[in-house]
Amino acid sequence: MNIVVTVKQIPDPNVAPQLDGNRLKRTGVAGVLDPGDEFGVEAGLQIAAAHGGEVTVVSMGPAQAMEAVRKALSMGATKGVLVSDDALQGSDALHTARVLAEAIKNTGFDLIISGVESTDGYTGVVPQMIASILDIPSATFAKSIEINGDTVKINRQTEKGYDEVEVQMPCVITVTAGVNEPRYPSFKGIVEAKKKPVDEPGSPVAGESTSQNVESVNDAPQRGAGEVVEDDGSGAAKIADFLAQAKVI
Amino acid sequence: MSLSPEHEEFRKVVRAFADREVRPKAAYYDERAEFPTDVILACGEQGFLGLPIPERYGGAGADYLSYLICVEELARVDPSVAITVEAHTSLVCNLLYHFGTEDQKTRWLTPLAAGKKIGAFALTEPGAGSDAGGTQTSAREDGDDYVINGAKMFITNSGTDISLLAIATARMADGQISAFIVPVGTPGFEIGRKLRKIGWHASDTRELAFTDCRVPKHNLLGESGKGFNQFLAQLDDGRIAIAALAVGQAQGCLDECLRYVAERRQFGRPIGSFQAIQFKLADMATKIHHAKLAVYHAGNLRQNGDPFKIEASMTKLFATEMAVDIAREAVQVHGGYGFIEEFPVARFYRDSKVLEIGEGTSEVQRIIIARQLGLDPGLR
Ligand SMILES: Cc1cc2nc3c(=O)[nH]c(=O)nc-3n(C[C@H](O)[C@H](O)[C@H](O)COP(=O)(O)OP(=O)(O)OC[C@H]3O[C@@H](n4cnc5c(N)ncnc54)[C@H](O)[C@@H]3O)c2cc1C
């Protein structure tokens, strides 16, 4: 089975983000493999181990994103593709999906796994767009994945519980945090990752990289002070009311 | 001296592991003086209990430098976990790997290096500490067995649920000292009480007693009678690892201080804005930097097969004394809160002192260094 996992390098979330104009600064800042993508890589590795096949990681980003690709390779992926092109700077979700879909088409695929959304941009639409461009089905928010022959069955996380969803391969699956526990790379894995093949094509699609323009960036509003509930015996009930109002319970 | 990009990458992995899997439980196990079996087995699953051991013997097939990095990063959050890994790897796995027969490696090294079990090294006795050559424990030949009698003191990793064996030194009939593999459960091998310590609470330290304890002859480790000298050479390895542990815990102290001085306000401003505090932190960072260079320099010598005896002792001496100083200053920077157990620096302070004692006291390191300088300490 050809398993493709899309991965992205994001600025280290433990460091305060910096702006480059109206865009997030991505080069020259410490980057990490998006923690959300680690679940995708782990899912791919587990499926490959159980059902045979290999895992190819596909990424779009500046040259520096090679670190994220290598991280995925050190976890055990077989090979990588990094599409890096100055013309792609500032790409919006749709253009990113076009580029990734084209790269995925070139590597061949049976199953494409992505995180639900990136931890920096949070658009959460790229995987579905890839499925649409490749004209294959997608099943999203998987909290578990089961493969039976050509069929992928997922438990799709919902607000109330989960739906069981079945799709035919080839397809795109997005995975939530909690679908598995991503492994830590071993020292040997790190050394071997340097020798694994990574294809570095330029942008395979022409045209405008974005149809969006960020006009301005503003700080998120400060959170107001919380409400303190004095417990005079009715504390639990008051908190339950509050949670019910917030539609949490 | 520099580490390869692969080593730096591995450091990130161990750091992430330590932050996620070790840090949240450090205070819990320390407070209860309980051995963190789950944490150590998790280390085992990552290959951290056999980093420098080849894969054919269950190890991770990494190298000595990656092992030092691992000990350093674990100590940054929990010195008890780090010493558990260190004693197991430097003193037990290393000895089995270097001196074990093929059979001994298959049978004993493999489960240890694979991280399923841990091992103990039993050299120190109630009457023989710095003077390890003063071993009183005896090993007498009897048919196909050796019969061991004697007592051991301060033995790390000896009485946990996952302890597999002790490598015990004993004097033979000809007066020479050898070492024996004594599996847990051998009749006559009594694992004594857990010692109450001022630090390293989560590390298992015990007295051991051997009473007519029989082990088969093939449990002799290394060449008969040569054991002692071979082992002393091997101890140099462990000294660099203890220095790495010291560097890690000192870094842990500095991390805590950096966080605290930004939060704590007195006289209307963060205490980190006072030059007296800033200078303490600047001194800490400077000392850690130098100790770390020394650790990885000695580690590189060892890894390349170059002589490193004097470097190992100098590094152990310098790094451990530094770690004790820094732990004391870290408490000072925290004021009264540093004396309260909720703050990690209180634990680091208690954990630090033993660094100047275990695997050769500071005085013993100075003796070794003086000897390497060509001076005669006048000892046997
Ligand atoms: C928590 C802990 C864990 C340990 N784990 C292990 C283990 O797993 N296996 C093991 O075998 N041992 C272990 N040890 C023992 C440790 O290695 C010894 O404690 C150490 O070597 C010192 O021996 P001692 O305690 O008998 O002190 P002593 O040797 O009695 O020393 C007392 C003092 O005299 C000084 N001194 C001694 N000789 C000289 C000299 N010639 N010149 C100048 N000063 C001298 C010492 O430096 C020290 O200050 C552990 C100890 C501790 C505390």
Fold of B5-118: Butyryl-Coa Dehydrogenase, subunit A; domain 1 (1.10.540)
Cis-peptide into A170, omega within 30 deg = yes
**Domain assignment present for A224:** no
Distance B239 CA to ligand 1 centre (A): 14
How does pLDDT run across B313-332, given as a tens digit for each residue?
999 999 999 999 999 999 99
Query: Is B133 near ligand 1, meaning CB less than 6 Å away?
Result: no
Check residue B111 and give its pLDDT. 98
Predicted TM-score (pTM) of the model is 0.91
| pLDDT beneath 50: ranges in chain B | none
Q: Which residues lie across from A139 on neighbouring strands? A: A173
The answer to the question of residue A240 being in a domain is no
Residue A242, pLDDT > 80, answer yes
| Closest CA–CA distance from residue A118 to any residue of chain B (Å) | 20
Taking domain B228-372, whether its CATH number is 1.20.140.10 is answered by yes
Structural domains of chain A, count: 1
CA-nearest of A3, A208, A190, A198 to A84 is A198
Q: What are phi and psi of A131, to 5 degrees?
A: -60, -45
Average pLDDT, chain B: 96
Location of each CATH 2.40.110.10 domain in chain B: 120-225
CATH 1.20.140.10 in chain B, residue ranges: 228-372
pLDDT band at A122 (very low <50, low <70, confident <90, very high): confident
Domain coverage including residue A32: 2-214
Max Cα distance, chain B (Å): 79
Identity at A180, one-letter amino acid code: N
Q: Do B51 and A187 touch (CB under 8 A)?
A: yes
Q: Does B22 touch chain A (CB under 8 A)?
A: no
* Res B360: pLDDT: 95
H helix and E strand count, chain A:
6, 13
The mean pLDDT value for A83-102 works out to 91
Mutate to test the interface with A, among B3, B4, B6 (most CBs of A within 10 A): B6
**A228 found inside a domain:** no
Q: What CATH code is carried by the domain that includes residue A15?
A: 3.40.50.620
Q: DSSP 3-state assignment of A151?
A: strand
The architecture of the domain spanning B120-225 is Beta Barrel (2.40)
pLDDT at A90 over 90: no
Asked if B41 has any chain A CB less than 8 Å from its own CB, the reply is no
The CA radius of gyration of chain B, in Å to the nearest whole number, is: 21
Active site residue B359: yes
Among B7, B13, B22, B55, the residue to mutate for chain A (most A Cβ within 10 A) = B13
Query: Tokens representing B280?
Result: 């303490």
pLDDT at B380: 65
> CA-to-CA distance for A177 and A172, rounded, in angstroms?
17
Task: Note whether residue A204 is domain-resident.
Answer: yes
